[in-house]
Structure 1
Amino acid sequence: MERTILLLAAMVLVAYYVYIPLPDDIEEPWNLILEMTKLKIVVDLVSFAEFLGINHFMDSLQFLIRLQEVPATSDENVTVTETTFNSVPVRIYMPKRKSEMLRRGLFFIHGGGWCLGSAAFVKYDLLARQTADRLDAVVVSTNYGLAPKYHFPHQFEDVYSALRWFLQEDILETYGVDPRRVGVSGDSAGGNLAAAVTQQLIQDPDVKTKLKVQALVYPALQALDMKLPSHQEGSYFPFLPTSLLIRLWSEYFTTDRTLEKAMLLNQHVPMEFSHLFQFVNWSSLLPERYKTDHFYENPTPGSNELAKKYPGFLDVKACPLLANDNILSHLPLTYITTCQYDVLRDDGLMYVTRLQNVGVHVTHHHFEDGFHGAFTLHGFKIADKIQNQYLSWLMKNL
């Protein structure tokens, strides 16, 4: 009898972790299920450790991700070094082949929900090597302080400080970078930071070198309305369900989980800031196909106390979709990747609409079989497709 109970319990446990419903058009479903199962186990373990008071959820994940970091080792194609740009640690990837002219420069910002990841994380290290080699470009992959130790605006300030340092004429000359061919790029939270620093840069009179392009891969762009259609659909999307996204957003601003609870209910924006919803109103900014079966409702007003304590979620430096049209109209050539099965899908789609509305030249690649995290899921067909489109666009436009 005991053996039967144990066997049934084991079967239930295996079914819980292995049964992951996926859309029919996603390629390599069993490989993806394996990756998602591993992540699900890790998330449950660190959540349980947090519940017991052993360690903060993000601190545990940070520890596990640090185990997957690789040293700054050069290879046959790329020289890899580490230094600091204005006290911010960066990793620099330089092609080894000789060049008769100044090279492109790409300033890359890793994702990880402002809480996780680094330039040394194996997935970002490999991406930077591939980018430097294929584009014959100098790639600067920056680090920044992570939550929960650091909160907004620390991450933004680290990235902006490092980028301004890189854009100095003598620094570009040191690395053999053409000042007319410098771009910024990032994925997810890195895409958020890339969009934010690009907006800030066009308003900074002290920076003489301007960016030629920005390339944003499924960026997080707003934290005002957490009931976009992609949020409502995204509870079971691969790797980044809506609940985890909201946890990451709230951790960006505070360890006080009162904000997270309010965001889950979409009741965190005070009435006095309701005018900001015009910049993130999905009913007017999304293409029709994404609005089907969804009805727009004005978010319930939140408390002034939360906004006073943690005003970051109302700040354009944290939420680039809040920028006014005048700022957006001065942005450089832009590339945006969105994925169909991504909770952040609608952030990117709304940014495409807003930029196009003010005359910015935007190239938008939408992957119908894509999902969050696919860009760096090396070895998967979907990763190859997204990376090839991204690198081809940079090759042509940077």
Structure 2
Amino acid sequence: MAFIYILPVILLVIFTASFIRVVMGTIRSEYSNFSIPPGVNHSGKLRIVHASLVTTSALGKILEKIGVCSELAFTRYVQPGRQRGPEPQLSLEDAELGRVPVRVYRPRAQPAGPRAAAIFFHGGGWVHGSIGTYEDICRYIARESESVVVSVGYRLAPEHKYPAAYEDCLNATLHFMKNIEHYGVDPANAIVCGDSAGGNLAAAVCQTLAGRSDLPKLRAQILIYPGLQALDFNLPSYHQNRGVPLLFRERAAFFALQYLNGHALHMQEVLEGSHIPPDMRLKYRKWVSPDNISEKFKVRGYKPHKPHEFNAEVFEKVKGFFDPNLCPLLAEDAVIQQLPKSFILTCEYDVLRDDGLLYKKRLEDNGVPVTWYHLEDGFHGIISLFNLYVFSFTSGKRGLDRIVEFIRGL
């Protein structure tokens, strides 16, 4: 009989121990390579932001373990977006463009003529993010640039694998461009814009539309610390910033694989570079190589990486990485040459820094005008923290203001 009373205690102890192991495992994995260089903007704030993300991840793992919900569902739930009241200077409208949900931000003031428009694709590694999480950014761009902003709510991975997000962004953009005058927008002054994964989508959409003669030409593209390739996760910035929040090197590969395949079973092989056939490595070396990165970006230390032996089985699983619609840095010169004026923002303490630098070089080598703004103290995701009360970062505000300035100057 005594065992009947002791059993719940034993189960509780086992349950508690399991929770502790999950929490400690999450903390160890997240902090094992964690580092914040002294040059980062408001490093103390970044530590707190990172700690909150680790805590959220740990709670999500616990809920998943006990069968309440998946970790992914929980992390999406706790970051649904910031609740904001009416905007005196803007009108907001939720709609659909090509069956894709969007939110349209329009300045209320009567314009002197047709406005500019920015079609915005949010970041979040193709896995996180929404129209709601980018509410403040889109309001700010619309208000300060006096332009119409269309925020696109594309489908997320891993539930919706590539090319779902790309197709949603393309369809929404096509629908908008075909009906552009309905929104009071100058057909010659529409741009695509996005940060991180959204920058990837903006670059892919811009390339797709570059050769279209049946639509108004895009005026520009704005790429904010974009991820543009999945061939080399050993470029200088991936080593220098491998443990800098908000995006670790391993997470960059994890998100790319989630987008491509809906899982990350071959993450280690992709990180090591064994997914690239020798002939393709030779072909793309002219575009994706540390040799194309200025020496000033290697002063914090860089050790050349020797790729592991090619694995044909892994290549078959991830060969979608060689599709320019997924990795825009791999587009042929004939496509790059048709691209419009471009704005690229990079951050020094960002694993994706070199993706932006390599694309900047490709554009310039092909005669495309590029406005480049580099946040010397910035880190990946810094602009997405805009207006986060005491956890706002001044460097991110500077970057956002440069984007507004670029739009106003078109």
TM-score (structure 1 length as normaliser)? 0.88
Instruction: Summarize the alignment of residues 199-278 of structure 1 with structure 2, pairs less than 5 Å apart.
Output: 199-205=207-213, 207-278=214-285
- Contact 1:18–1:33 (CA under 8 A) maintained in structure 2: no
- Contact 1:77–1:133 (CA under 8 A) maintained in structure 2: yes
- Measured in 1, the distance between the counterparts of 2:64 and 2:212 equals 42
- Measured in 2, the distance between the counterparts of 1:257 and 1:375 equals 27
Instruction: Summarize the alignment of residues 287-326 of structure 1 with structure 2, pairs less than 5 Å apart.
Output: 287-292=294-299, 293-297=301-305, 299-326=307-334
- Measured in 2, the distance between the counterparts of 1:369 and 1:30 equals 13
Instruction: Summarize the alignment of residues 323-362 of structure 1 with structure 2, pairs less than 5 Å apart.
Output: 323-362=331-370
- Identify which of 136, 139, 147 aligns with 2:146: 136
Change in CA separation of 1:81 and 1:301 when aligned onto 2, cut-off 3 Å: farther
**TM-superposition CA deviations, 1:275-333 (whole Å, max 9, x none):** 44325433331111223443444533443333333432111101011012221111100
Instruction: Summarize the alignment of residues 1-398 of structure 1 with structure 2, pairs less than 5 Å apart.
Output: 21-47=35-61, 55-66=69-80, 68=81, 70=83, 74-121=86-133, 124-168=134-178, 171-205=179-213, 207-292=214-299, 293-297=301-305, 299-378=307-386, 379-397=392-410
**TM-superposition CA deviations, 1:219-276 (whole Å, max 9, x none):** 0000011111111122221211111111111101123432223223222223353244
Which piece of structure 1 moves more, 365-374 or 258-267?
Answer: 258-267
Aligned-partner SS, 2:346: strand
Unaligned runs of 5+ in 1: 1-8
- Measured in 2, the distance between the counterparts of 1:57 and 1:231 equals 26
> In the alignment, what sits opposite 2:3?
none
RMSD: 2.5
Which piece of structure 1 moves more, 45-54 or 371-380?
Answer: 45-54
Change in CA separation of 1:52 and 1:240 when aligned onto 2, cut-off 3 Å: farther
The CA deviation at 1:355 is 0.9
- Measured in 2, the distance between the counterparts of 1:189 and 1:109 equals 8
The CA deviation at 1:389 is 1.2
Unaligned runs of 5+ in 2: 1-19, 387-391
- Contact 1:247–1:260 (CA under 8 A) maintained in structure 2: yes
- Measured in 1, the distance between the counterparts of 2:59 and 2:209 equals 41
- Contact 2:107–2:143 (CA under 8 A) maintained in structure 1: yes
Match of 2:41, as an amino acid? E
The CA deviation at 1:394 is 1.4
Change in CA separation of 1:343 and 1:48 when aligned onto 2, cut-off 3 Å: farther
- Measured in 2, the distance between the counterparts of 1:148 and 1:69 equals 24
> In the alignment, what sits opposite 1:4?
none
- Measured in 2, the distance between the counterparts of 1:258 and 1:28 equals 36
Change in CA separation of 1:113 and 1:215 when aligned onto 2, cut-off 3 Å: same
The CA deviation at 1:366 is 0.7
**TM-superposition CA deviations, 1:344-364 (whole Å, max 9, x none):** 001001111111111111011
- Measured in 1, the distance between the counterparts of 2:66 and 2:335 equals 47
Change in CA separation of 1:99 and 1:150 when aligned onto 2, cut-off 3 Å: same
Change in CA separation of 1:358 and 1:106 when aligned onto 2, cut-off 3 Å: same
Identity of aligned residues (%): 32
Match of 2:39, as an amino acid? D
- Measured in 2, the distance between the counterparts of 1:260 and 1:48 equals 24
**TM-superposition CA deviations, 1:131-172 (whole Å, max 9, x none):** 11111111000011101100111110110011011101xx21
- Contact 1:59–1:148 (CA under 8 A) maintained in structure 2: no
- Contact 1:95–1:136 (CA under 8 A) maintained in structure 2: yes
Change in CA separation of 1:136 and 1:280 when aligned onto 2, cut-off 3 Å: same
Match of 2:313, as an amino acid? E
Change in CA separation of 1:298 and 1:324 when aligned onto 2, cut-off 3 Å: farther
- Contact 2:235–2:290 (CA under 8 A) maintained in structure 1: no
The CA deviation at 1:391 is 0.9
- Measured in 2, the distance between the counterparts of 1:283 and 1:209 equals 37
Change in CA separation of 1:302 and 1:150 when aligned onto 2, cut-off 3 Å: farther
Change in CA separation of 1:50 and 1:277 when aligned onto 2, cut-off 3 Å: farther
Match of 1:152, as an amino acid? Y
- Measured in 2, the distance between the counterparts of 1:235 and 1:173 equals 45
Change in CA separation of 1:355 and 1:50 when aligned onto 2, cut-off 3 Å: farther
Match of 1:26, as an amino acid? V
TM-score (structure 2 length as normaliser)? 0.86
The CA deviation at 1:100 is 2.4
Aligned-partner SS, 1:240: coil
